[in-house]
Amino acid sequence: METLREIPLIVLGVGGVGRALLEQIVARREYHKRRYGLYLRIVALADSTGAAVVPEGLSDEELKQVVQTKAEGGRIADLPFGYYQNDVKNIVDLEATRETVVVDVTASMDTWEALMLARERKSALVLANKLPLTAPLSQAMALYEYPRLRYETTVGAGLPVIVTTKRLSASGEHIRRIIGVLSGTLGYLMTAVEDGVAFSKAVLKAKELGYTEPDPREDLSGRDVARKALILARTLGWKLEMEDVSVQSLYPEEWDTWPLEDVLAELIALDDDFFSWVDAARARREALRYVAHLEDGRVNVGIQFVPFDSPIGQLRGTDNMVEFHTEYYEPQPLVLAGRGAGVHATAAGVLSDIMEMALASHG
């Protein structure tokens, strides 16, 4: 009988995505064994305060305990096999080898040193975390230039946006422009205002439905879309910094220092602007969208009017969509669309990246 090939994994971060990833790894054990002869052996896990390091691999029972404890707001350090730590570099130092896949599903820059050490050890890196990839170029290039890195879920979650960008770019085919709706929250808001709902009401509703971050300014500032746009631009080989991305915030800058309840109360002041934008767009048979637009080495993130009959003009609700307008994809662009967030779709994308690295290192 053929022996199972074991791939050691180090998972940094056990939040929504990290937990969904652990659940999927356990649920797919049989499938990965049968189809690929592979076993993903989780040798270390960390949250922001603790870790569990088990070189022979955490059992599925222990992994389920981790998931449950974290879902209930507990800490890895509280588990019988956990301990307190505040520097994940030590974990990588203990466990990372060339065969290891190091997975960063935190939302923190504090994993940087750990990622660099893993790179030195020639481990594979899989990131859902956008922050290291949007660091200053002098720093982030260490990641982009590393061939054993995958970061598919940083843009559009499970949608294959990065791999599509890389493939189009690799052939040398001229990419005229990329336009993306990369925030489900802002997509929802644009659809609502188009349907005649006041912007302030739409934001409050989105907050109630859990579509926004707890502080909706995180979404309305466009910062997260800007990070995704910068990752796309850098994937195209454009040497841009965060400051080079022009970002339109949907609220006045001075609100950044206000208490949240004052911002929510004042949103009503923005309603008329949105009503008139919708009217102006409609008069031109166009739709109002919050997009990332990449063209000629420049990146703009903000409100745009797009033709009603274009794919993005037809888009409604919280789905993401990316149009690639290229030499060979015109007048009809190559289009990717679908759910662009959510812990399960994201975790599945992270798992695909892990499997790709695991299978590539075969032999």
Give the residue numbers annotated as catalytic, written as ranges. 228
Of 111, 99, 159, the residue nearest 135 (C-alpha): 111
97 lies in the binding site for ligand NAP (CB under 6 A): no
- CA distances to 47, 70, 235 from 133, rounded to whole Å, are 20, 26, 10
Shortest distance in whole angstroms from residue 41 CB to ligand NAP: 20
Residues 6+ apart with CB under 8 A from 356: 150
Residues 6+ apart with CB under 8 A from 158: 338, 339, 345, 346, 348, 349
Q: Out of 12, 40, 226, 355, name the contact with ligand NAP by CB under 6 A.
A: 12
143 lies in the binding site for ligand NAP (CB under 6 A): no
| Window of 30-38, 59-67, 94-102, 127-135 that interacts with ligand NAP by CB under 6 A | 127-135
Q: Out of 27, 35, 37, 49, name the contact with ligand NAP by CB under 6 A.
A: 49
88 lies in the binding site for ligand NAP (CB under 6 A): yes
9 lies in the binding site for ligand NAP (CB under 6 A): no
Nearer to ligand NAP, 47 or 62 (CB): 47
Cα 256-258-264 angle, rounded to 5 deg: 95
Q: Out of 5, 6, 16, 337, name the contact with ligand NAP by CB under 6 A.
A: 16
**Nearest-angstrom CA–CA distance, 227 and 135:** 10
128 lies in the binding site for ligand NAP (CB under 6 A): yes
The residue written with tokens 């993130």 in the block is 301
Say if CB 192 and CB 202 are below 8 A apart. yes
Number of residues that bind ligand NAP (CB under 6 A): 27
66 lies in the binding site for ligand NAP (CB under 6 A): no
Residues 6+ apart with CB under 8 A from 147: none
Binding site for ligand NAP (CB under 6 A): 12-18, 46-49, 88, 105-108, 110-111, 128-130, 153, 157, 341-343, 346
